[in-house]
Amino acid sequence: MKDGISGAPCPNALPYAQIINSLCIARNFFPCLVGAIKMNETGLGQGPTTENDISADGGHGIMQLTSSFPSDWADPTANITYAIDHFLLPNYLVLSVEPYSFQGDDLVRAVAAAYNEGLGTAEEDHDKYGNVDYGTTNDYGARALAHYTALVAELVA
């Protein structure tokens, strides 16, 4: 556990858990956090979108990358790798230190909110409104935290 976040692997029942766990181990990152984002984006299975779909707002693949994406976005490993390396890990590195220093559940929620609305917007929302989720889609960070909590609980049950 680091910054109050579990480094435990995603449960095997989560689609793409093996890919997520492998990529996170190699990066010393948090599999259940990535799994929670995946659940927000494409649910427990391969719906509401599949790894080959493009959403109405232009999201690509299982992590629904919209601003930038690898040319092989339909490849689950490439899609998840890109999401971790270009969004989740950098967001974590910024939000876990001063001036924010989020920890635990607040850090999970902040990293997720930044994934959804962009790091700068999440920081602005926190500074202006005291809520990183202020401008997210349907309380994205709170929903990701609920998924994260369920994934971690499943491992200890």
Domain range spanning residue 25? 17-156
Please report which confidence band the pLDDT of residue 154 belongs to, taking 50, 70 and 90 as the band edges: confident
Which token pair is 116? Answer: 């959804």
Residue 8 lies in a domain: no
Domain CATH number, residue 134:
1.10.530.10
Alpha carbons 126 and 85: distance in angstroms, whole number: 23
Residue 89 lies in a domain: yes
| Radius of gyration of the CA atoms of the chain, in A | 14
Residue 1 lies in a domain: no
Residue 3 lies in a domain: no
Residue 30 lies in a domain: yes
Please report which confidence band the pLDDT of residue 28 belongs to, taking 50, 70 and 90 as the band edges: very high
Neighbours of 139 (CB within 10 A): 17
Residue 119 lies in a domain: yes
Residue 26 lies in a domain: yes
Number of domains in the chain: 1
pTM of the model: 0.91
pLDDT in tens, 75-107: 889 899 999 999 999 999 999 999 999 999 999
Please report which confidence band the pLDDT of residue 53 belongs to, taking 50, 70 and 90 as the band edges: low
Alpha carbons 97 and 77: distance in angstroms, whole number: 29
Beta-ladder partners of 60: 54, 65
pLDDT of residue 1: 65
Residue 144 lies in a domain: yes
